[in-house]
Amino acid sequence: MHLVQLFLPLRDNDGAAFPRTLFDEARAELTEVFGGVTAFVRSPALGAWEDDDGAVRRDEVVLLEVMTAHLDHGWWAHYRWQLEQRFDQDEVLVRAMQVERL
């Protein structure tokens, strides 16, 4: 079993909040494909990273999680690209880890 996590930014590069519909669409799509999704939307996570110029950037992100028995790398690469276009991001972090259901 795999746990896939998607980190979606709350705001664009100018600081304006993304419309809620973008997050609702992603949740609906993931529910349709995987049969469910967990969304951590009430307490956004705070992220920080260093850009190419060495400046530290900060972002608030919403975390979406799905569990899947099979990890289709091609599907996830395409879906990540779609999210990058929708949220106008250079990169949307999508990560997967193997988990055991207890």
| CATH number, domain containing residue 41 | 3.30.70.120
Q: How many domains does the chain have?
A: 1
How much is the pLDDT for 50? 81
Instruction: Of 31-45, 59-73, 74-88, give the lowest mean pLDDT range.
Output: 31-45
Helices assigned H by DSSP within the chain: 20-34, 73-86
Identity at 34, one-letter amino acid code = F
Angle made by CA atoms 67, 71, 74, in degrees to the nearest 5: 130
Average pLDDT across the chain, whole number: 91
Please list the residues that pair with 96 across neighbouring strands: 4
Q: What is the pLDDT of residue 59?
A: 83
Reported pTM:
0.86
Q: What is the pLDDT of residues 16-65, one digit of tens each?
A: 999 999 999 999 999 999 999 998 877 777 777 787 888 887 788 999 99
Max distance between CA atoms of the chain, in angstroms, equals: 44
Domain membership of residue 91 as a residue range: 2-98
